[in-house]
Amino acid sequence: MQRQKLINTIMRKLILLAVILCASLAQAQSKKNSIQATKFGKGILNIKGENNTWSLKMATRMQLLSTFNLENNNGNLGNLSSSALLRRARLKFDGFAYSPKLKYKLELGLSNNDLSGGSSATKGANRMVLDAVVMWNFAGTFEVWYGQTKLPGNIERVISSGNLQFVDRSRLNKEFTLDREFGIQVRHLTKLTDRFVVREKFAVSQGEARNVTIDNNGGHQYTGRIELLPFGLFESKGDYSGGDLKREKTPKLMFSVGYNYIEDAIKDKGGQGKYFGGLDPKDDASALGAMATDVKTGFIDVMYKHKGFSFMGEYAKRAANNSNLVRVGDGVNLSAGYLLKSNWEIATRYTNISLENAVEERNEYTLGVSRYVVGHKLKIQSDLSYIDVVGKNGSVGLRFQVDIHL
C-alpha cells in the first residue's frame, strides 16, 4: 500500500513537471522554435522545432457527469439512485519526431475512473497510460504502428470518448470491445477509383489488455479490419466521429467487417473482462493456463452521413472453444440522429445483447439531446434510457454531461 502511494505521488509530480516544462517552453519564444497560437479545442500548446524536425501538441479534456436511475418494479418506478463524478480527465500529447512521417501519441488518464482496473498483472498499479504509440508512414499509404493503443475493433470503440453522439458508448461496446493493447499494427489505404477507398488494418497484440507488466499468461491476439468507403472519405474524419457535425454535402458511407482471434485466452471476454475463476495471474498462472481457450469475435458495422443526418449500425458476435468460461453471444447496436441548424441534435439508439451461458438478454432504448457549442470540443449532452433485462426488473436512467477540450 505504501509503495502504491509513493508511485502515485511520483506520477503526479512528473505530470505537474511536464505541464510546467511545456508552459515554460511556450513562454521562451525561441527564434529557432516556432510556437503557434491555437484556437479553442486545438490544444493548449503547439510547438514546432528548428527546420521542422519535430513537433509537440499538448491538449487536455474532461467530462463531468451526473446520473439518476429509477427501477421499474411491476410498472412502478422507485428506488431512486444518483451519482456525480469526474467521468474522464485526460492529458494528451502528439506530434512528430525527426520527420512528419514518424508520428507519436501519448495519452494519460487522470481521473479515478480512468485509473481503475489494476490487478496483479499490472503490479496493482493504477493504469494511467492509455496510449503510448509511434506511427511510421514508411512507404506510400502504408503505416506501421508500434506501442499501446486501441485495436481496430468495433467502430464505436475506436471513436474517441470525446467525439461520441451520446453521453457514453453503448452496452455492445462494453460487452464486446477489444479496447487497448500493446502490439504492432499495419495500416494501408487503397483507392479503387477516384472516390472508392478501401482501408485495411491488421494487428498482432499481447492478448491481456493494457498496461500488463508480467509475462503473457495466455496466447496472443490477432485482429483484422477492412473498411469500404464507396463515396469517398468523410470530411474531417467524420466516419470516426458521432453525429454529422460537418453536414456532409454528398452522401458518405463506410461499411466495415472485422475479425479478432485470441489463442489461449484466459479472460471471460477474450482479451478483456475477468480472469477465469477469479484467479490471480501472478499466483495462479499454471491453473489459468490449463483453462485457456481460443476465442473468436466478429464485427460488422456501417456509418452513413448526409446533410446533418447520421446513422451508425454495429453487430458483434463472440464464440469460444469452451463456452462455459467465456461470455459468448452477440449484440446489435443501432443509432440515428439529426443535427439542427442551431447545432442542437436529437438522436436515438437501440441496443440488444444476448449472452448464451449467462442466460441474459438485454434491450436498451435511448433518446439523446446534445448542444454543440464548439463542435465536440465544448458540448452539453443528456440522454434518457429504458433498460429491459429479460426476467429482471427494468430501469430508467437519466444522464447529464458537460464535455470540454482545450
Per-residue pLDDT for 335 more than 60? Answer: yes
Mean pLDDT of 87-94: 94
Mean pLDDT of 203-220: 81
User: Residue 331 in contact with residue 356, Cβ under 8 Å?
Assistant: no
> What span, in angstroms and rounded, lies between the C-alpha atoms of 198 and 200?
7
Find, among 20, 21, 52, the residue nearest to 36 by Cα: 52
pLDDT at 284: 83
pLDDT at 29: 47
Residue 19: which pLDDT band, with cuts at 50, 70 and 90? low
User: Residue 214 in contact with residue 121, Cβ under 8 Å?
Assistant: yes
pLDDT at 286: 85
Percent of the chain with pLDDT over 70: 87
Per-residue pLDDT for 6 more than 80? Answer: no
Element (H, E) at 11: helix 2-28
Mean pLDDT of 260-287: 88
Whole-prediction pTM value? 0.89
Find, among 147, 159, 152, the residue nearest to 178 by Cα: 152
In the chain, the N- to C-terminal Cα span, in Å, equals 34
Per-residue pLDDT for 185 more than 90? Answer: yes
User: Residue 396 in contact with residue 78, Cβ under 8 Å?
Assistant: no
How many residues are there in the chain? 406
Find, among 275, 156, 278, the residue nearest to 208 by Cα: 275
Segment 308-326, tens digit of pLDDT: 999 999 999 999 999 999 9
| Residue with the larger pLDDT of the pair 100 and 215 | 100
> What span, in angstroms and rounded, lies between the C-alpha atoms of 210 and 201?
19
Segment 153-174, tens digit of pLDDT: 999 999 999 999 999 999 999 9
| Residue with the larger pLDDT of the pair 9 and 56 | 56
Q: What is the mean pLDDT of the chain?
A: 89
| Residue with the larger pLDDT of the pair 79 and 244 | 244
Per-residue pLDDT for 227 more than 90? Answer: yes
Residue 281: which pLDDT band, with cuts at 50, 70 and 90? confident
> What span, in angstroms and rounded, lies between the C-alpha atoms of 157 and 348?
18
Cα Dmax for the chain? 72
Q: How far is CA 381 from CA 42, 162, 167, 346, 385, in A?
A: 21, 11, 6, 10, 13
pLDDT at 50: 84
Percent of the chain with pLDDT over 90: 67
